[in-house]
Amino acid sequence: MTSSVRTVEAAPDQSTESQYNFAYLDEQTKRMIRRAILKGIAIPGYQVPFASREMPMPYGWGTGGVQVTAAILGQEDTLKVIDQGSDDTTNAVSIRSFFEKTAGVKTTTATADASIIQTRHRIPEASLREDQIIVFQVPIPEPLRFLEPRETETRTMHALKEYGLMHVKLYEDIARNGRIATTYAYPVEVNDRYVMDPSPTPKFDNPKIDEMAALQLYGAGREKRIYAIPPFTKVKSLDFDDHPFEVQKFERPCGLCGAANVYLDEVILDDKGGRMFVCSDTDYCEERREAGHLGDMAADPAAVSLTTSTAGQDAS
Amino acid sequence: MSDMMNDEPLLRVSEITKLYGNRIGCQNVDFELWPGEVLAVVGESGSGKSTLLNCLSTRLEPTSGMIEYRMRDGVFRNLYKLTEAERRLLMRTDWGFVHQNPADGLRLAVSAGANVGERLMAVGQRHYGQIRDTATDWLERVEIAADRIDDNPRAFSGGMRQRLQIARNLVTHPRLIFMDEPTGGLDVSVQARLLDMLRRLVADLGLAVIIVTHDLAVARLLSHRIVVMRHGNVIETGLTDQVLDDPREPYTQLLVSSILQV
Ligand SMILES: [Zn+2]
């Protein structure tokens, strides 16, 4: 903290939280990040370098996404934060309380009520709207790095649209596994131009980012890159003619709410091998149950305890 | 690729000079290379042959002079006036480069099949089965068993790696291949097999080749024409058999006699 910020803290009617600028970052830093975001929106899928700041949390916690959210957040916004589809994991709870504390904005777990959704590892099942923004926390933004570690070379490849190497990666996947076994961070081509890593979301979510109504912003803190997909942009998952892209399929619907065609997590119920598959998007599952949809495990005592414990869970 | 214009050279090299400060890399090199022709550039280390190879293959811009290449559309282009995109496309389609150390020309992190298939994917092939069939075919043409297609080149012997590097270059049917001491790191018996295979492939495919070697036996076996370099200058050039059987320059005579003694 600089001394000038401490004077603000000393004002009598300020709570201790107001030692921070709104949403923690100073206005100059936010402007710099907004410029990077605007450039990213203008060139869909292109990785824009930015002067990433230290945040009061470890890099692995999504500091890139946090900085993007801090730069776009307004006082009227309502923020939702999810990790692995859940609002209640430690990472999600910490980031949500960080913004409650530093920006005093409203937060929510309901996808429909959020104006900004910050996420790691999932995209909500409910379709997002034009008046919403989704912010992704990205660990490694460069999809070509797997086969080409040299930064100068990957930059040239992007500039010249030389993306054969992405298919070498997929070729290798099929040669080893008999099919494209990549399930996370599945590479996409954005707007017929830049190949992009959609961050460690499951490929199940790739179709959602194609022609999505909401603005998508991606922030990589450690790697100092921001990229974006504007609303209603074509996003194509890379594949081969004879091995077309396909999403994961689940054999049965969610055990709690009966939803089909959603991404499911396996949950262990007891130490006797009891298990069930439930929506990874906890908000979606709860809303369906409230609306009266019940899965085949909904009445199981172990499953019931699971829903009540997650609903009431706090940061651990 | 049928070459309809065999009455024109593929490569025109005019007055190429490369200076490193005031030290001469190579100077005033002039020659033409014709489709299907194998040209050996020989000399001792420090003779300028590697500098020349790097200039010709667009890896090192010459200080002066011009190198023109007849593109697949029949138009001669100054290689150092190509855009970066054109240059890189040329290098991975119509050209090949075989390094002395196969590790410099292979991706050791992926399978043999992916190494051969990379150029196909780079030019837009998107059918896994067809890419694999083509890769299998090329592996067999360089005498690598088809069932090694999914193996990593790290598991290959030096000779196999070198043959894999060659297959990886040839898969797009290039018209011109640069080779830098391609048999350099190999045992003598492995060298002989590789040279036989190279000679057969070059003839079958009608490839033009510029091969840099210090080994006159390699030049004799593979090349039609030879360029002898010393201190950055071309001191003698002509048909390989003529130059090696009846060298005019004293320095070439020395080179030839030293190989005969070995
Ligand atoms: Zn559910």
Q: Are A192 and A22 in contact (CB under 8 A)?
A: no
Q: What is the mean pLDDT of chain A?
A: 90
| A258 annotated active-site | no
Point out the residue among A147, A165, A175 whose CB comes nearest to the CB of B150: A175
A168: which chain B residues are within 8 Å (Cβ-Cβ)? 107, 110, 114, 117-118, 121
Can you tell me which residue has the tokens 């290098």? B91
Q: Of B61, B19, B169, which Cα lies nearest the Cα of B105?
A: B169
| Residues sharing a CB contact under 8 Å with residue A247, sequence separation 6 or more, in sequence order | A203, A204, A206, A207
Confidence of residue B8 (pLDDT cuts 50, 70, 90): very high
A156: which chain B residues are within 8 Å (Cβ-Cβ)? 84, 88
Residue B47, amino acid: S
Q: Are B146 and B132 in contact (CB under 8 A)?
A: no
Please check the confidence at residue A130 and state whether its pLDDT lies above 60: yes
Residue tagged active-site, from A64, A85, A255, A285:
A285
Amino acid A199: pLDDT: 86
The CA distance from A252 to A138, in Å, is 31
| A274 annotated active-site | no
B110: which chain A residues are within 8 Å (Cβ-Cβ)? 147, 168, 171-172
Amino acid A16: pLDDT: 43
Please check the confidence at residue A9 and state whether its pLDDT lies above 50: no
Centre of ligand 1 to C-alpha A258, Å, is 6
Can you tell me which residue has the tokens 């495990």? A297
Cα-based distances in Å from A148 to A151, A165, B84, B89, B214: 8, 8, 18, 18, 33
| A254 annotated active-site | yes
Q: What is the ipTM of this complex?
A: 0.92
Amino acid A32: pLDDT: 97
Cβ contact (<8 Å) for A175 and B107? no
The CA distance from A95 to A65, in Å, is 10
Please check the confidence at residue B163 and state whether its pLDDT lies above 70: yes
Q: From the CB of residue B6, how many other CB atoms can be counted at a distance below 10 Å?
A: 12
Residue tagged active-site, from A45, A219, A255, A258:
A45
Cβ contact (<8 Å) for B128 and A147? no
Cβ contact (<8 Å) for A242 and B131? no
Amino acid A8: pLDDT: 38
Mean pLDDT of B7-15: 96
Q: Are A122 and A82 in contact (CB under 8 A)?
A: yes
Cβ contact (<8 Å) for A160 and B85? yes
Looking at CA atoms only, how far is residue A146 from chain B in angstroms? 9
Mean pLDDT of B44-67: 96
Amino acid A273: pLDDT: 84
The CA distance from B15 to B27, in Å, is 7
Q: Are B92 and B115 in contact (CB under 8 A)?
A: no
Strand A215-220 and strand A133-137: the pairing is: parallel
Residue tagged active-site, from A254, A255, A258, A295:
A254
The CA distance from B142 to B204, in Å, is 13
Q: Are B152 and B160 in contact (CB under 8 A)?
A: no
Q: Are B148 and B196 in contact (CB under 8 A)?
A: no
Question: Residue-wise over A214-233: b if at least 16 C-beta within 10 A, else e?
Answer: bbbbbbbbebbbbbbbbbeb
Q: Are A294 and A304 in contact (CB under 8 A)?
A: no
| A45 annotated active-site | yes
Cβ contact (<8 Å) for B122 and A171? no
Instruction: Report the 3 state secondary structure along B172-190.
Output: CCCCEEEEECCCCCCCHHH
Strand A194-196 and strand A215-220: the pairing is: unpaired
The CA distance from B146 to A293, in Å, is 55
Of all residues in chain A, the percent with pLDDT exceeding 90 is 79
Mean pLDDT of A79-103: 94
User: What does the pLDDT look like over A170-221, one tens digit per residue?
Assistant: 999 999 999 999 999 999 999 999 999 998 899 999 999 999 999 999 999 9
Please check the confidence at residue A11 and state whether its pLDDT lies above 80: no
Q: What is the CA radius of gyration of chain B?
A: 18
| Residues sharing a CB contact under 8 Å with residue B174, sequence separation 6 or more, in sequence order | B93, B94, B95, B96, B207
Please check the confidence at residue A313 and state whether its pLDDT lies above 50: no
Cα-based distances in Å from B70 to A89, B6, B34: 63, 11, 10
In which order are the strands placed within the sheet that holds A188-190?
A: A194-196, A188-190, A235-237
Looking at CA atoms only, how far is residue B134 from chain A in angstroms? 13
Residue tagged active-site, from A62, A255, A279, A295:
A279
What is the phi/psi pair of residue A78, to 5°? -120, 125
Please check the confidence at residue A315 and state whether its pLDDT lies above 70: no
Of all residues in chain A, the percent with pLDDT exceeding 70 is 91
Mean pLDDT of A299-309: 72
Looking at CA atoms only, how far is residue B85 from chain A in angstroms? 6
Mean pLDDT of A300-310: 69
Centre of ligand 1 to C-alpha B93, Å, is 52
Angle at B151 between CA A166 and CA B174, to 5 degrees: 60
Helix (H, G, I), strand (E, B) or coil at B221: helix
Amino acid B5: pLDDT: 53
Can you tell me which residue has the tokens 């899928």? A45
Q: What is the mean pLDDT of chain B?
A: 94
Please check the confidence at residue A6 and state whether its pLDDT lies above 50: no
Cβ contact (<8 Å) for A175 and B119? no
The CA distance from B28 to B49, in Å, is 13
**Residues by chain with Cβ below 5 Å of ion ligand 1:** A 254, 256-257, 259, 279, 285
Amino acid A10: pLDDT: 36
Q: From the CB of residue B256, how many other CB atoms can be counted at a distance below 10 Å?
A: 18
Point out the residue among A156, A165, A171 whose CB comes nearest to the CB of B128: A171
Cβ contact (<8 Å) for B111 and A168? no
Confidence of residue A298 (pLDDT cuts 50, 70, 90): confident
Cβ contact (<8 Å) for B119 and A164? yes
Please check the confidence at residue B108 and state whether its pLDDT lies above 80: yes
User: What does the pLDDT look like over B187-246, one tens digit per residue?
Assistant: 888 999 999 999 999 999 999 999 999 999 999 999 999 999 999 999 999 999 999 999
Angle at A203 between CA A200 and CA A206, to 5 degrees: 100
Please check the confidence at residue A7 and state whether its pLDDT lies above 80: no
Chain B interface, Cβ < 8 Å to A: 84-85, 88, 107, 109-111, 113-114, 117-119, 121-123, 126-129, 131-132, 149-150
Amino acid A60: pLDDT: 78
Instruction: Report the 3 state secondary structure along chain A.
Output: CCHHHHHHHHCCCCCHHHHCECCECCHHHHHHHHHHHHHHHHCCCCCEECCCCCCCCCHHHCHHHHHHHHHHCCCCCEEEEEECCECCCHHHHHHHHHHHHHHCCEECCCHHHCCEEEEECCCCCCCCCCCCEEEEECCCCCHHHHCCCCHHHHHHHHHCCCCHHHHHHHHHHHHHHCCCCCCECCCEEECCCEEECCCCCEHHHHHHHCCCCCEEEEEECCCCEEEEECCCCCEEECCECCECCCCCCCCCCCCCCCCCCCCEEEEECCCCCCEEEEECCHHHHHHHHHCCCCCCCCCCHHHHHHHHHHHHCCCC
Query: Which residue in chain A has the smallest CA separation from B123?
Result: A164
Please check the confidence at residue A100 and state whether its pLDDT lies above 90: yes
| A257 annotated active-site | yes
User: What does the pLDDT look like over A231-271, one tens digit per residue?
Assistant: 999 999 999 999 999 999 999 999 999 999 999 999 888 88
Where is pLDDT greater, at A268 or B258? A268
B152: which chain A residues are within 8 Å (Cβ-Cβ)? none
Cβ contact (<8 Å) for A240 and B119? no
Q: Are B114 and A175 in contact (CB under 8 A)?
A: yes
B93: which chain A residues are within 8 Å (Cβ-Cβ)? none
Where is pLDDT greater, at A282 or B260? A282
